[in-house]
Amino acid sequence: MKHFFSILLIIFFFSCSNDGIVRNPYLQELGFRFDMNLNLPLYSSLTNLGSVVFIDNTGIGNRGVYVIKSGFDQLRAFEASCPNHIPNECSTMTLSGQNVTCSCEDYEYSLFTGQLLNRPDDGKRYYDMLEYRATQSGNVVLVTN
């Protein structure tokens, strides 16, 4: 019986794993909350599919946040700093349609999915965009981390 508990304890310790989330070592995951009223002209374009708004208020993300209307009832919010290096003078990504580009290496990301579109095939680890939570209640969108 003593060996049974020892084996059970060993199995318990070795069967534990992390939650499967890979943290980006380049970007801090800052806590923030930002409300957008879709009745205001600044954010009203988010009622149209594929429309993007850039929020560059201080304290919202590392370098700001891009919000896109990606589906009938779906909004997505992503960090504006390139996820594949430490934030610097060229790491704030620029908007081009529904994609954003990092001018440091010309990495291009989709705002519909957050994925790196031109991922180099060099065997190194590359990160997709850091996504924040965007929830809509009526005409108010809450973006949080």
Please determine, for residue 135, whether its predicted confidence score (pLDDT) is greater than 80. yes
Record the pTM.
0.83
Domain spans in the chain, listed from the N-terminal domain onward: 27-144
**Which residues share a beta bridge with 116?**
109
**pLDDT over 70 percentage in the chain:** 85
The more confidently predicted of residues 129 and 72 is 129
Is 90 exceeded by the pLDDT of residue 114? Answer: yes
User: How much of the chain exceeds pLDDT 90, in percent?
Assistant: 79
Question: In the predicted model, is pLDDT for residue 128 greater than 70?
Answer: yes
What is 27-144's CATH superfamily? Rieske [2Fe-2S] iron-sulphur domain (2.102.10.10)
| Residue 45 identity | S
Q: End-to-end CA distance of the chain, in Å? A: 48
Q: What is the mean pLDDT of residues 117-123?
A: 93
- 5-59 pLDDT, tens digit each: 555 555 555 555 555 667 899 999 889 999 999 999 999 999 999 999 999 999 9
Beta-bridged to residue 16, according to DSSP, are none
Could you give the 3-state DSSP secondary structure of residue 75? strand
Q: How far apart are CA 89 and CA 74, in angstroms?
A: 32
Band the pLDDT of 72: cuts 50, 70, 90. Answer: confident
